[in-house]
Structure 1
Amino acid sequence: MYDVNVESIRTRLACLPEIAQALSASTVAWTGNLIEGLAQERALHLAAEIATDVGHTLIDGFIMRDASSYEDIIDIIAEEGVITDQVAAPLRRLVLLRKTLVQDYDRWPRRELHPLTAELPRVLLGFSDQVEAYLRKELI
């Protein structure tokens, strides 16, 4: 039997609707001001952290192969059938932003709308739905 921290996964997934809403609002009302830029930056950062935290918890709990990087976390959960390629592809692009968002934040273009901002709301909600479906299927 697997030892999956379902509560941790669901707690993190529960944050995604608000993050998706914030990203959607950023896309619709973007003027390029500093506050919008900082909000976008934080929403992208949180989305990346949630995707990798949930992925890592799934990998540990279901005893999947060890991940060698943040991108590899997404690859593994896609290979294992947790998420589809349509969700995995933009999440890979998102986790590639993580280093810039966390370490090289002084180079982040805060006044520009990042292309993932418009795409992610749908992707994040799909990620949440697919993870929940995987948990139901595997933990029956």
Structure 2
Amino acid sequence: MYYVDQQQINERLQQIPSLIEGVEQIEQKWDHSVLMHLAQERAIQLSIEIVTDVGSLLIDGFIMRDASSYEDIMDIIAQEGVLDALLHKKLVALVQLRKPIVQQYTEWERSNLHPCVLELPSILRSFADSVQHYLVKELQL
């Protein structure tokens, strides 16, 4: 029997709609201002935190192998059938942005809208749908 903290997973997934709304506003109102640059960085960072937190909760709850990195979290949940190959690839690319944003922020390119911002809404929607589908299948909800 697994103990999957569905409440924690749902709390994180429930942040996705407002994050998507924010990302869409950033895209629509993009003006190269400092505020827009900071907003896009925070949106990317929150997206990364949500997918890695949920991935970690799935790994812990379903007693999957331990992850050694953010990319490994995505690899593990893909291997366990949570993600399809295309979503896995996009999520790995997303989580690889964590180090540049959090640790190498002095070198982060701030002249344009980051290309991943355009894909974030569909990535986040697909991620939430995939996680919910997996939970229903595995927990027979």
What is residue 89 of structure 1 aligned with on the other side? 89
SS at match of 1:27: helix
1:48-90 Cα distance to aligned partner (Å, 9 max, x none): 0110010011001101111111001001111111111221111
Confirm or deny: 8 A CA contact 1:48 1:95 kept in the other structure: yes
Question: 1:110 offset after TM fit, Å?
Answer: 2.7
CA distance in 2, matches of 1:106, 1:52: 24
What is residue 54 of structure 2 aligned with on the other side? 54
State the one-letter code of the partner of 1:52: T
* Count of paired positions: 140
Within 5 Å, give how 1:30-109 maps onto structure 2.
Answer: 30-109=30-109
Question: 1:22 offset after TM fit, Å?
Answer: 1.4
CA distance in 1, matches of 2:38, 2:61: 34
Matched, 1:129 2:124: no
Confirm or deny: 8 A CA contact 1:41 1:110 kept in the other structure: no
CA distance in 2, matches of 1:104, 1:34: 18
Compute the TM-score of the two structures, normalised by the length of structure 1. 0.95
Question: 1:120 offset after TM fit, Å?
Answer: 1.0
Compute the TM-score of the two structures, normalised by the length of structure 2. 0.95
Q: List runs of 5+ in structure 1 lacking aligned partners.
A: none
What is residue 3 of structure 1 aligned with on the other side? 3
Question: 1:137 offset after TM fit, Å?
Answer: 1.0
Question: 1:111 offset after TM fit, Å?
Answer: 3.2
- Structure 1 window deviating more from structure 2 (95-104 vs 23-32): it is 23-32
Compare relative contact order (CA 8 Å, sep 6+) and give the higher one, 1 or 2.
1
CA distance in 1, matches of 2:100, 2:125: 24
Q: Structure 1 stretches (4+) deviating beyond 3 angstroms? A: none
SS at match of 1:12: helix
1:74-128 Cα distance to aligned partner (Å, 9 max, x none): 0111111111122111111110010111111122223321110001101101100
CA distance in 2, matches of 1:35, 1:111: 12
CA distance in 2, matches of 1:84, 1:33: 36
Q: List runs of 5+ in structure 2 lacking aligned partners.
A: none
Question: 1:40 offset after TM fit, Å?
Answer: 0.3
